[in-house]
Amino acid sequence: MLESIASAAKGEAVLADGEDVWSFPEGLTAPLTPDGVVTDTGWHVRPLRIGEAALGYAAWRRNDNAARASEDDDRLIEVLVDLGAAAIVRARLGMANSRMEALARTEELRNALLSSISHDFRTPLSAILASASSLKDLGPDLSPEVRDDLLVTIQEETERLNRFVANLLNMTFPAISTPSGPGPRPACKPTRCCWSRRWPMSWRTQCASRRTAPP
């Protein structure tokens, strides 16, 4: 685009969009200051607009030994400048679309991570709560084996929850780890996390009947 404008002008061309400035040939100084003052003579400056939106400006000038431009050359430059404005609009729309897609992917990943974290927290907490409440409400009526089993469940699920929190902190603050330190903590191993799957149906029926039995 710039090369075509420079060719039609038989000289040099500059296209600016905010702080981004392109030129042909490369390395030209922007002919317009941020305040809109032309820095050098010989430049023709035209603002780039789409409707009421100001996009930047296009500038061109002829070489000293170039022949005087014809009306056709002037009209061609005007058309090319309009095409440059349309190209800037397309580039801006493409960047905005890319940002929106990135935000959508980030939000989707965030929701999936929160859902996973919620599940991984609730599973051991439910097992701990069920075991602790059983010990509190039915402790005297439970056999020593069942009480030990409940205590083991509380310990295992507490350790599992502790490992999960440690892994989460390691992912959140990776800079805390040192090259000479230990490697990443291993992933949590699957454990028996639901008391309804841990003990036989007969024992759960016994507990339920004792909970609902009148005093």
Confidence at residue 154, expressed as pLDDT on a 0 to 100 scale: 92
If one counts every other C-beta atom within 10 angstroms of the C-beta of residue 193, the result is: 19
Give dist(CA 205, CA 185) in Å, integer. 39
Query: Could you tell me the residue ranges of all domains in the chain?
Result: 2-69, 124-212
Which pLDDT tens digit goes with each residue over 63-116?
A: 766 666 677 888 888 888 888 888 888 888 898 999 999 999 989 888 887 787
Q: Which residues have a Cβ under 8 Å from the Cβ of 157 and sit 6 or more positions away?
A: 124, 125, 127, 128, 131, 191, 193
Give dist(CA 156, CA 180) in Å, integer. 30
Query: What three-state secondary structure class fits 11?
Result: strand
pTM summary value: 0.45
Contact at 8 Å (CB) between 82 and 49? no
